[in-house]
Amino acid sequence: ILGRGEEFTRAVKIEYEGIRKEHHATQQAKEFLPLEKARTNEQSFDWTTYTPPKPDFLGLREFSVSVEELVPYIDWTPFFWTWELQGKYPAILENEGELGKRARELFDDAQTLLNQLIADRRIHPRGVCGFFPANRVGDSIEVYTDETRSSVLKHLHFLRQQMVKKDDTPNRCLADFIAPKDSGQADFIGAFAVTAGPVVVEMADEYKADHDDYNAILVQALGDRLAEAFAEYMHKQARDAWGYGRTENLSMPEIIKEKYRGIRPAAGYPACPAHTEKITLFEILHATDLAGIELTESMAMTPPSSVSGLYFSHPDSRYFPLGRINRDQSEDYAQRKGWPLEKVEKWLSPNLGYTP
């Protein structure tokens, strides 16, 4: 026999379970298109009038650069966010209040440490970049072994926005930016993985051993900025290899603001929240062997100051948030990956618009 307290607890649980189910049913009815209907509202292009550019090399290339080469590509604004200083660089340095004072002190310390890193050459950033023939099939991309396109090297699987749109915007998927297989157009996709290297962690540990937590955090923050700068540097090399980058005539601030053509989405970010696509990316790039980057069981990259992603060249390619998806898309994604639905739901849990 239940006590009155237990009865009350059970009644509340039953009530809230009913509210939860009703909420999710309502949300599903209001917010989601059936996957097939969302696909009919894809971002479509006239592939008969557009010819995808061909990069000047196919396959993989290794890169090893100096810290000094990456400095111009550093976006300093997120560096200040690491220290909870909200503002944009360089304007934050001109702030006349306490914010500006703290920002200037921090920036001066960062420049001192950065100059030290340049001088002692302990950090050796490494990366790998590749271009591959590719075509779209549904919401996936076939990556081919060579230009005959007769043999599939790997499949990259993407997800589509499934929310009901109240205007004429499409339900986007990253696969939309690659020419469909039946279009007759030979398209290409790029991929990259870069790292500031393991020495960043080693230096941070050395500072911690000396009870210098400030410089431990500072060197890690700089390592992250260098990795992102390397990604920006590599993207410039990729745009040049595609041809259109050679005539873009952008200043460094414009490059950092991504005023260029094309995008480089990363697995785990809003347009491609599926972290597990890193597995395929790393296999394509041989990232562990060629760049010294490994994936943990949680799909984090190690060394931590590392960045990886894909290159899309279409001039109308853009970033977008996927948002939440419905069960039919989870089932479709599981089928494409050859995974149990439960495994897909585990990895995509932040994006599920339903309760598994």
Q: Which residue has the tokens 């061909």?
A: 54
Contacts for 117-121: CB closer than 8 Å, 24+ residues apart:
117/67, 117/222, 118/66, 118/67, 118/68, 118/71, 121/66, 121/67
* Side-chain half-sphere exposure of 278, counting CA atoms within 13 A: 25
Percent of the chain with pLDDT over 90: 87
151 pLDDT above the threshold of 50: yes
CA–CA gap between residue 74 and residue 195 (Å, rounded): 14
pLDDT of residue 4: 47
Among residues 285, 292, 243, the alpha carbon closest in space to that of 267 is found at: 285
Helix (H) or strand (E) holding 127: strand 126-137
pLDDT of residue 166: 87
Give the residue ranges of DSSP H helices in 64-97: 67-70, 77-82
Which pTM value belongs to this model? 0.89
CA–CA gap between residue 103 and residue 88 (Å, rounded): 10
pLDDT of residue 22: 45
25 pLDDT above the threshold of 50: no
What's the average model confidence in pLDDT over 11-33? 54
157 pLDDT above the threshold of 80: yes
Amino acid occupying residue 86: Q
207 pLDDT above the threshold of 60: yes
pLDDT of residue 95: 87
CA–CA gap between residue 328 and residue 311 (Å, rounded): 28
Q: Which residue has the tokens 């779209």?
A: 136
